[in-house]
Structure 1
Amino acid sequence: MTQIRNDLRNIAIIAHVDHGKTTLVDGMLKQTKVFREGAKTEERILDSNALERERGITILSKNTAITWNDIKINVVDTPGHSDFGGEVERVLNMVDGALLLIDAVEGPMPQTRFVLRKALELGLRVIVVINKVDRPHARVEEVLNETFDLFIELGATDEQAYFPVVYAIGLDAVAGYEADNLAEDLTPLFETILKEVPPPEIEPDAPARLLVTTLEYDNYKGQLGIGRLRSGTLTRGMPVVRITPNGERHSGKLDYLFTHHNLTKQDVDVVHAGDIVAFGGLPELGISDTIAHPDVTEPLPAIRVEEPTVRMTFGVNTSPFAGREGRAGWGTSRRLRERLYNEVRHNVALRVSEGESSERFIVSGRGELHLGILIETMRREGYEFEVSKPEVIYHEDPATGQMMEPVEEVHIEVADDSSGIVFEMMGSRKGKMLNMRNQHGTTYLTYLAPTRFLLGFQPQFLRATSGMGQFHSLFYDYEPVIKELPPQRSFGSLVAMEMGTATGYALSHLQARGTFFIDAGVEVYEGMVIGEHIRSEDLDVNLTKSKGLTAVRTKNYADEVRVKAARTMSLDDWIEFMADDELLEVTPESLRLRKRILNAEKRIKDRKGKEKMLSS
């Protein structure tokens, strides 16, 4: 028999990236007296991950809980970037409602469409929060109409389309029922949550059942699982069964039991149905596992996520500098395999499979950013490895046998005077324009373009628009493969000919050949890419040459050797620059690009052999 639990609400905060989710949560936490008076707090409290703070985006979903008028509100902050859509798809299973934040100037954006579609499919009650209403050029009425149109377009029911609206300034932590009449705090938002989000329906007398939606690791308690208790009661120390999605049963015991309160987990002895629970004590856990009373025989429906569209090859570092900079013993294939397969257990949008050898693994994800964050995370943990250039994943249409490739829906926001270069760049990438509008000196463009043609496009786009353009893409569908090849890199690589230390003398004589990625005094090895050639072909150069010593003194002997500063390359820049015959060496201290075949003579033979095969 089902009951209503009126003392609890479970909500998620969903939005397009940078529309203010995490900042609004900051205000909610502060106004519910989570912190003592005068306590110093950081901005974006829930973005605790170092990478999240550096990039200014939410990568991992976070759980917190606040209390308002004696009612507990479990809040889940979700990522806004579609590359981390797996996080969104997982956590929406735990909640009954969602706050959809929309920027009062930008309106509904591509990731707004993505997260809203997921919420509507699950039948969640959605509260629309039009945020940043104090911005210049705020389009409150237009944005509200565009949001309603989006609900209808995504197939919202009549009840879902009749959504409540709250207006807010997240940075000031104020909200109201009218855009020009905001309260002094977030009270209207809290009141709307309590009124509109349905309390959880529970079966208190049924056997306990919980679906694992998030995994965490604690240095003292080991692996922790998080999920919403669907029915029954869990108590500390009780025996449970873990049922995997394919029906395997494993017995265990709950050694630890927590609920969320403010920013911490509280140790509890008993948890009742409807609450979001963290637990530990089981030797193994996986996303979509069902934790239940031993009497339960059937698992809960597993979480389904969309398939990856991009893949890279991760492998053991094979460069001459291997083993110098990573943690001792962390560069082996065993360590790499263990780390990647552990990632799959909680990163549900990721796929890992064995590569062409025991030292290589194919890692598939939602996009370049999704894979790039994994690379950066492993690098900071102390791993040393090498990765290949990203490539798209093709599908075969079962009905026609035709090869299909992923296509992205691209949304671009750029100043009017930069729109010409964007038209040209998207045209060369087979983009089909769907929509264009101009407003307040800004051009908004919508395209469909093959994912294959967009790999490495974002850094080029930012350079072309002087860093002022906004580029967002969202998986659209699979379409027949286009025969043409994507635009190739127009410049070749400068490649070191031998191992040694780069000298200022050699660099000064070679700088007319291109742009360097290294400075004098840096160690190099044969086959290492040290710069960008001014021509389309690669060029092998000697960087270790030094000035010969003679007894002759000349007037210019003491002249300074002037070398242009090296170009600083980030991980994203390296991934964009990398050619098909190159690998990126990743260590905790360095990122080095290298040729797959280090020896120059062998590279020439390999290239000629491939050309001969193609001609025959």
Structure 2
Amino acid sequence: MDLRNIAIIAHVDHGKTTLVDELLKQSGAFRENQSVAERAMDSNDIERERGITILAKCTSVEWKGARINIVDTPGHADFGGEVERILSMVDGVVLLVDAAEGPMPQTKFVTSKALALGLRPIVVLNKVDKPDAEPDRALDEVFDLFANLGADNEQLDFPHLYASGRAGWADTDLDGPRKDLSALFDLVQAHVPAPTQVARRAEPFRMLATTLSADPFLGRILTGRVESGTLRAGETIKALSRTGDRLEQFRVSKILAFRGLSQAPIDVAEAGDIVTLAGMSKATVADTLCALEVDASLPAQPIDPPTISVTFGINDSPLAGRDGNKVQSRVIRERLMKEAEINVAIKVSDTPSGEAFEVAGRGELQMGVLIENMRREGFELSISRPRVLFREEDGQRMEPIEEAIIDVDDEFTGAVIDKLTGQRKGELVEMKPAGVGKTRIVAHVPSRGLIGYHGEFLTDTRGTGVLNRIFHAWAPYKGPIQGRRAGVLISIENGTSVAYALWNLEERGRLFIGAQEAIYEGMIIGEHSRENDLEVNPLKGKKLTNVRASGTDEAVRLTTPVRMSLEEAIAYIDDDELVEVTPKIVRMRKRFLDPHERKRQARTTG
């Protein structure tokens, strides 16, 4: 069968997964009476809840005698490690661009990776049926983006389509018939070349492992594209590391191929096809699975380094162990090492104490998703504030700079520019109109300055602003950046919060807890209205007397407390604070000192 391997890449929320849904439906991958969930490729619970793609996933459709393997990729820069691996096993990409927003930061990131590999993109201008769509402007911006990224003449001569993924149509002309996606299917067949590996089927078997997962019945399974040769189920092959060292020899227990949303067992894997193998125990991502006579490993694509680091530790608060059942440092370490094995964009290292672990990754969202997955598995953790990773170049300290693209109402541009360029050491690159009453701001800001900024940004723009960011470059250290301005309210007692005490504390600032909640000494229960921290007693009840008069016993009415999400709490805390994460609740607290440090401070203060 004629074969094509493509990846669909785009910025977050530009409609990749919705378009794949329609491709599956119109290719006949589903029965007529089959019940299929919306955004079927987003199978992970967190993906469905947040409406974003986190893990790259493969599917397969048949069209006019050809099999098209399609890879749905994440759209957020924090999960760019998935995209970098996936592009190495496809022969073409479909670049999806919102006709209203145009190319955005993630569009630039994934397109640069695709162009560097020599892939010739197909551009699909999606959502052209929206009232604010400007497909001609978006198309010009895509061409400018390609030129800025160093595309060659063939890549600049890209075909384009106008489409609406939700409505399920794509046409070569904006005023086309708008019936179905046949124009996209035909263009993929005509423009994307067949895998060059097909000509190497007579050579020994070789395959580069691209994604790793686990199956409850098959155990460890690896997915990738067969680079040469053929493989039958039951044959014995070996695994080589990136450096060519032999890891293991194993018998292939099963070969699976993508058929619609599921995987089906096949007898033979042939060069050029994307398949999944089972039977190994040690092989992992970027390793080469090959015939016994092969000595050299396949080259793996380099992965961009992490930019932030977070400390994962055991939960040592007085309320530890009440919600979760995985609280030991040994269990936490095993889980983090397992994650680092699957996700090549994450690095895990031990701290000197052995009770905590440094986890380096791409951004706050990536860390937040990992923590959310762990808490749902029953883990209890204490999480530090994210720290930016620096590096030395020629004796100079360098820090990561991010490109922030912001769309705000005109009336809020002053506040946003002041925060970014004045307080957070950013540089304004561009400012231009972006539609009726909107302004687009492009700024280069240190990663340190953007940690914890999103909450402030939403407040400054009354919730109407949109901020997208992506790694831009390394630059010399820009000096200290002021952190959170407000102090916090800290409990000095252990027990259960009292409504009367919280009512009296409301004038001190915003509260993060309500009445009848478990609290402990050192727990952060609110934000102080001033810059200093304030120790308070949320257990203090009302003094009772035997005097009764009208108005003295009115019911206490508390203001609704501010409930922070996991990502908001991690971005909010300061360097001397931690986030306590359990399966049921997220709390913030001051960092507990070890006994030696506590004694040293007591001697210092007299």
Equivalent position SS for 1:44: coil
Say yes or no: does 1:151 pair with 2:149.
Answer: no
Residues 90 and 303, structure 1, Cα contact 8 Å, conserved in 2: yes
Residues 257 and 267, structure 1, Cα contact 8 Å, conserved in 2: yes
Which residue of the partner structure matches residue 302 of structure 2? 304
Amino acid at match of 1:527: G
Say yes or no: does 1:206 pair with 2:203.
Answer: yes
Which residue of the partner structure matches residue 108 of structure 2? 113
Equivalent-residue separation in structure 2 for 1:173 and 1:608 (angstroms): 72
Say yes or no: does 1:451 pair with 2:454.
Answer: no
Equivalent-residue separation in structure 1 for 2:232 and 2:471 (angstroms): 43
Which residue of the partner structure matches residue 544 of structure 1? 539
Equivalent-residue separation in structure 1 for 2:604 and 2:243 (angstroms): 47
Amino acid at match of 1:519: G
Equivalent-residue separation in structure 2 for 1:440 and 1:550 (angstroms): 63
Residues 242 and 251, structure 1, Cα contact 8 Å, conserved in 2: yes
Measured after TM superposition, the shift of residue 556 of structure 1 is 3.8
Equivalent-residue separation in structure 2 for 1:609 and 1:304 (angstroms): 50
Amino acid at match of 2:270: H
Say yes or no: does 1:391 pair with 2:387.
Answer: yes
Equivalent-residue separation in structure 2 for 1:69 and 1:253 (angstroms): 36
Say yes or no: does 1:26 pair with 2:24.
Answer: no
Which residue of the partner structure matches residue 514 of structure 2? 519
Of the three residues 235, 240, 244, the one matched with 1:238 is 235
Equivalent-residue separation in structure 1 for 2:596 and 2:381 (angstroms): 25
Decide whether aligned partners of structure 1 residues 604 and 332 sit closer, same or farther in structure 2, where only a CA change above 3 A counts: closer
Of the three residues 257, 278, 292, the one matched with 1:280 is 278
Residues 167 and 182, structure 1, Cα contact 8 Å, conserved in 2: no
Equivalent position SS for 2:303: coil
Decide whether aligned partners of structure 1 residues 182 and 455 sit closer, same or farther in structure 2, where only a CA change above 3 A counts: farther
1:242-266 superposed Cα distances (whole Å, 9 cap, x missing partner): 1011222111111111000000000
Measured after TM superposition, the shift of residue 585 of structure 1 is 0.7
Which residue of the partner structure matches residue 420 of structure 2? 426
Q: TM-score, normalised by structure 1?
A: 0.95
Paired residues, what number?
A: 601
Aligned pairs for 1:101-500 (under 5 A) are: 101-202=96-197, 203-249=200-246, 250-327=248-325, 330-397=326-393, 400-427=394-421, 428-438=423-433, 439-483=435-479, 485-500=480-495
Equivalent-residue separation in structure 1 for 2:464 and 2:29 (angstroms): 37
Decide whether aligned partners of structure 1 residues 608 and 228 sit closer, same or farther in structure 2, where only a CA change above 3 A counts: farther
Amino acid at match of 2:412: S
Unmatched 5+ stretches in structure 2: none
Equivalent position SS for 1:125: coil
Which residue of the partner structure matches residue 548 of structure 2? 553
Equivalent-residue separation in structure 1 for 2:432 and 2:49 (angstroms): 32
Measured after TM superposition, the shift of residue 517 of structure 1 is 0.8
Unmatched 5+ stretches in structure 1: 1-5
Equivalent-residue separation in structure 2 for 1:7 and 1:219 (angstroms): 33
Equivalent position SS for 1:488: coil
Equivalent position SS for 1:265: strand
Measured after TM superposition, the shift of residue 8 of structure 1 is 0.6
Residues 127 and 165, structure 1, Cα contact 8 Å, conserved in 2: yes
Residues 121 and 158, structure 2, Cα contact 8 Å, conserved in 1: yes
Measured after TM superposition, the shift of residue 7 of structure 1 is 0.9
Measured after TM superposition, the shift of residue 63 of structure 1 is 0.6
Aligned-pair Cα RMSD in Å? 1.9
Moved more, 316-325 or 190-199: 316-325
Equivalent position SS for 1:259: strand
Moved more, 354-363 or 601-610: 601-610
Residues 426 and 445, structure 2, Cα contact 8 Å, conserved in 1: yes
Amino acid at match of 1:465: T
Amino acid at match of 2:101: E
Measured after TM superposition, the shift of residue 304 of structure 1 is 1.2
Amino acid at match of 1:314: F
Aligned pairs for 1:41-60 (under 5 A) are: 41-60=36-55
Amino acid at match of 2:29: V
1:100-157 superposed Cα distances (whole Å, 9 cap, x missing partner): 0011111111111100000011111210111111112322222212111111111111
Residues 526 and 599, structure 1, Cα contact 8 Å, conserved in 2: no
Equivalent position SS for 1:64: strand
Residues 527 and 599, structure 1, Cα contact 8 Å, conserved in 2: no
Amino acid at match of 2:367: L
Measured after TM superposition, the shift of residue 284 of structure 1 is 1.9
Equivalent position SS for 1:345: helix
Equivalent-residue separation in structure 2 for 1:551 and 1:440 (angstroms): 65
Q: TM-score, normalised by structure 2?
A: 0.96
Amino acid at match of 2:453: F
Measured after TM superposition, the shift of residue 545 of structure 1 is 1.8
1:309-364 superposed Cα distances (whole Å, 9 cap, x missing partner): 1001111111111111112xx11111111111110111111111111311111000
Amino acid at match of 2:129: D
Decide whether aligned partners of structure 1 residues 565 and 603 sit closer, same or farther in structure 2, where only a CA change above 3 A counts: farther
Equivalent-residue separation in structure 1 for 2:207 and 2:23 (angstroms): 28
Residues 383 and 570, structure 2, Cα contact 8 Å, conserved in 1: no
Equivalent-residue separation in structure 2 for 1:359 and 1:600 (angstroms): 15
1:512-537 superposed Cα distances (whole Å, 9 cap, x missing partner): 11111111110111101111111111
Measured after TM superposition, the shift of residue 214 of structure 1 is 0.3
Equivalent-residue separation in structure 2 for 1:29 and 1:379 (angstroms): 34
Aligned pairs for 1:79-94 (under 5 A) are: 79-94=74-89
Displaced runs of 4 or more, over 3 A: 548-558, 598-610
Aligned pairs for 1:497-516 (under 5 A) are: 497-516=492-511
Amino acid at match of 1:298: A
Measured after TM superposition, the shift of residue 606 of structure 1 is 4.2
Moved more, 36-45 or 83-92: 36-45
Equivalent position SS for 1:569: coil
Decide whether aligned partners of structure 1 residues 74 and 110 sit closer, same or farther in structure 2, where only a CA change above 3 A counts: same
Equivalent-residue separation in structure 2 for 1:62 and 1:460 (angstroms): 34
Equivalent-residue separation in structure 2 for 1:604 and 1:486 (angstroms): 31
Equivalent position SS for 2:277: strand
Amino acid at match of 2:221: L
1:522-567 superposed Cα distances (whole Å, 9 cap, x missing partner): 0111101111111111111111122344444343453212221111
Equivalent-residue separation in structure 2 for 1:197 and 1:302 (angstroms): 23
Give me the identity figure in percent: 47
Decide whether aligned partners of structure 1 residues 163 and 308 sit closer, same or farther in structure 2, where only a CA change above 3 A counts: same
Measured after TM superposition, the shift of residue 581 of structure 1 is 0.6
Measured after TM superposition, the shift of residue 602 of structure 1 is 8.0
Equivalent position SS for 2:12: coil
Amino acid at match of 2:401: V
Measured after TM superposition, the shift of residue 40 of structure 1 is 2.9
Measured after TM superposition, the shift of residue 591 of structure 1 is 0.7
Residues 414 and 443, structure 1, Cα contact 8 Å, conserved in 2: yes
Residues 12 and 99, structure 1, Cα contact 8 Å, conserved in 2: yes
Amino acid at match of 2:286: S
1:39-67 superposed Cα distances (whole Å, 9 cap, x missing partner): 33222111111111222111110110011
Which residue of the partner structure matches residue 3 of structure 1? none
Measured after TM superposition, the shift of residue 193 of structure 1 is 0.3
Equivalent-residue separation in structure 1 for 2:544 and 2:217 (angstroms): 62
Amino acid at match of 1:395: R
Equivalent-residue separation in structure 2 for 1:549 and 1:537 (angstroms): 32
Amino acid at match of 2:338: N
Equivalent-residue separation in structure 1 for 2:278 and 2:189 (angstroms): 31
